[in-house]
């Protein structure tokens, strides 16, 4: 069971990195921009919420920290502020998912930047914002 969760998280993270590179490198980029070293920081956590609210929680956290939404694939939100790209992906825990009820939702927050500290700060701030968000009502 744990091996399946690790593989699915790794798959989500790799998909996010591919999306980040395909969205952020313009067709007219110079060789120096493409070869610039990139640093990334990633982390995951579980939150008990309605799965239907995961996207709004993710978008709200990105917006609060100055990241403009640049891409909205299913089960993820990708935001950028010009120097750092942050991707928040989410998936319901298959063992407890029932539409319209509070259940465990797995989140992965990945930040990519030319500066490691910017990526780390972005990941931490967005992750903390989602973790601290609460409900005033139920699903």
pLDDT tens digit sequence for 54-104: 999 999 999 999 999 999 999 999 999 999 999 999 998 877 667 778 888
Contact 129, 66 (CB under 8 A): no
pLDDT score for 88: 97
Rg of the Cα atoms in the chain: 15
pLDDT score for 1: 45
pLDDT score for 77: 97
DSSP 61-94: HHHHTTPEEEE--TTEEEEE-SSEEEEEEEEE-T
Contact 47, 101 (CB under 8 A): no
Contact 74, 89 (CB under 8 A): no
User: Is the model's pLDDT at 31 over the cut of 50?
Assistant: no
Count CA atoms closer than 13 A to 119's CA, side-chain side: 16
User: Is the model's pLDDT at 18 over the cut of 60?
Assistant: no
In which band, very low, low, confident or very high, does the pLDDT at 25 lie, cut at 50, 70 and 90?
very low
Strand 39-50 versus strand 84-92 pairing type:
unpaired
Cα dihedral across residues 92, 20, 2, 125: positive or negative: negative
List, in sequence order, every residue forming a beta bridge with 39; answer none if it has no partner: 113
């Amino acid at each position: 069971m744990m091996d399946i969760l690790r593989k699915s998280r790794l798959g989500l993270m790799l998909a996010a990195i591919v999306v980040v590179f395909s969205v952020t490198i313009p067709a007219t980029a110079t060789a120096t921009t493409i070869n610039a070293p990139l640093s990334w920081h990633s982390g995951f956590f579980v939150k008990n919420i309605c799965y239907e609210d995961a996207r709004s929680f993710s978008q709200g956290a990105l917006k609060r920290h100055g990241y403009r939404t640049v891409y909205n694939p299913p089960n993820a939100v990708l935001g950028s502020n010009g120097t750092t790209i942050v991707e928040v992906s989410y998936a319901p825990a298959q063992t407890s998912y029932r539409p319209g009820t509070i259940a465990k939702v797995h989140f992965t927050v990945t930040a990519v930047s030319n500066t490691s500290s910017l990526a780390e700060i972005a990941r931490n701030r967005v992750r903390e914002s989602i973790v601290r968000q609460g409900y005033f009502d139920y699903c």
